[in-house]
Amino acid sequence: MIFVKNAELGKVKTRLASTLGDEMALKIYLSLLSHTRQIACEIKANRFLFYSDSINHEDDWKESDFQKHLQHNGHLGDRINAAFELAFQSNDKVIIIGSDCASLNAEIVEEAFMALNHSPFVIGPAMDGGYYLIGMNKFEPSIFKNIDWSTEQVLKQTIEAIKKLDKSCYLLPELSDIDYEEDWKEYGWEI
């Protein structure tokens, strides 16, 4: 599963836009979406794409490759929870990846799926205290409750929620999201 914001000028990557401007932030976001789409298409799995505002039937995400949906209303935890609930109706392992991690690759996503063969949860920690990937092999909505979303506490609180269930969690390599100009410069992609 992938969550995306509808790519509109002035509405995406606002922290990047604060130093690089709205047009460059949109270009970077579109580049990150392309990277994420390529990774997803390398994985043999049912693919779900969740839009923030409206489903775009004319974009680069082919409907033959992705089941397109709208994100549920509410805070991020509510939206992720609803997406997992939907995906678990037809799948026995479900993973969601972020769309702003330039160093994510198909091998890491494959490792996550493999980890779910022996661990109930898998998380890809982000350097900012969140995560770029989370997955589970059985739907467990409690791990999305009482989380301070969009803070450096997300990863820690999610792992604590998993421990309260007396379950294990496989941790993937820590990667960096692209949130600020410095993050983008670190990767040096050309647009």
Residue 3's φ and ψ, nearest 5 degrees, are -100, 135
pLDDT, residue 161, reads: 97
Kindly list the strands in the beta sheet with 131-136, ordered across the sheet, starting from the edge strand earlier in the chain: 67-70, 48-51, 2-4, 94-97, 131-136, 121-125, 169-171
> What is the arithmetic mean of pLDDT over 8-17?
93
Q: Which residue has the higher pLDDT, 171 or 98?
A: 171
pLDDT, residue 191, reads: 66
Cα 186 versus chain centre, distance: 20
User: Mean pLDDT score of the chain, rounded to an integer?
Assistant: 95
pLDDT in tens, 67-105: 999 999 999 999 999 999 999 999 999 999 989 999 999
Q: Are 137 and 120 in contact (CB under 8 A)?
A: yes
> What is the arithmetic mean of pLDDT over 48-66?
96
Domains in the chain: ranges and CATH: 2-187 (3.90.550.10)
Which residues on neighbouring strands pair with residue 46, listed in sequence order?
A: none
> What is the arithmetic mean of pLDDT over 14-35?
94
pTM of the model: 0.94
